[in-house]
């Protein structure tokens, strides 16, 4: 996916932004859902998109950038069709997260934070997925998988288009 030449919402998307802003006494409270709309629309949140959103909220671009870089759900570069997030918090780490990450790096041929050359998978290490009872665990898009073994990881990867 290449960077968009110009970041601009359609009239319908702008109307949605205005409806979201009107829900709150301070329109800045709608910043997160509008950033999600940017990511859903353009695939990621570029610096150009941050500036565009800043204008919609009468905010400095630096403020929007701080929000984008704080939340791990926002991507600043194109991501793969699938996002594989491996928990590396204490419980998952002790139960084998380093081995899971090593296996995924080998199978996918990318390091953490990178996307496969075919654009299929982005690999991430995340702080916590809140399912310690399933350690080690990962999230694939919106699906959680736990009690991971190399064979289970291979089956998960084979199920991705």
What is the rounded average pLDDT of the residues 128-151? 94
CATH number, domain with residue 27: 1.10.10
The span from the CA of 87 to the CA of 58, in Å, is 36
Residue 2: inside a domain? no
CATH number, domain with residue 98: 3.40.30.10
Per-residue pLDDT tens over the stretch 40-89: 999 999 999 999 999 999 999 999 999 999 988 899 999 999 999 999 99
User: Which of 23, 28, 36, 34 is CA-nearest to residue 58?
Assistant: 28
Range of 127's domain? Answer: 82-158
Q: The pTM is what?
A: 0.76
Phi, psi dihedrals of residue 139, rounded to the nearest 5° = -120, 130
- The SS3 assignment for 146 reads coil
Which one-letter DSSP state was computed for residue 25?
A: S
Q: Which distant-in-sequence residues (6+ apart) come within 8 Å of 56 by Cβ?
A: 17, 34
Residue 104: inside a domain? yes
Same domain, 64 and 104: no
Residue 5: inside a domain? no
């Amino acid at each position: 996916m290449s960077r968009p030449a110009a970041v601009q919402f359609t009239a319908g998307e702008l109307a949605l932004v205005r409806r979201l802003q009107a829900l709150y006494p301070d329109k800045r409270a709608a910043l997160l859902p509008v950033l999600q709309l940017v990511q859903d629309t353009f695939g990621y949140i570029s610096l150009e998109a941050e500036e565009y959103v800043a204008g919609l909220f009468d905010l400095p671009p630096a403020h929007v950038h701080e929000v984008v870089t704080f939340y791990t759900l926002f991507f600043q570069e194109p991501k793969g069709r699938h996002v594989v997030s491996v928990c590396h918090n204490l419980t998952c780490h002790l139960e084998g997260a380093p081995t899971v990450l090593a296996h995924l790096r080998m199978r996918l041929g990318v390091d953490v934070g990178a996307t496969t050359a075919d654009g299929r998978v982005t690999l991430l290490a995340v702080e916590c997925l809140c399912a310690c009872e399933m350690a080690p665990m990962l999230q694939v898009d919106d699906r959680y998988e736990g009690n991971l073994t190399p064979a289970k990881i291979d089956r998960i990867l084979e199920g991705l288009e």
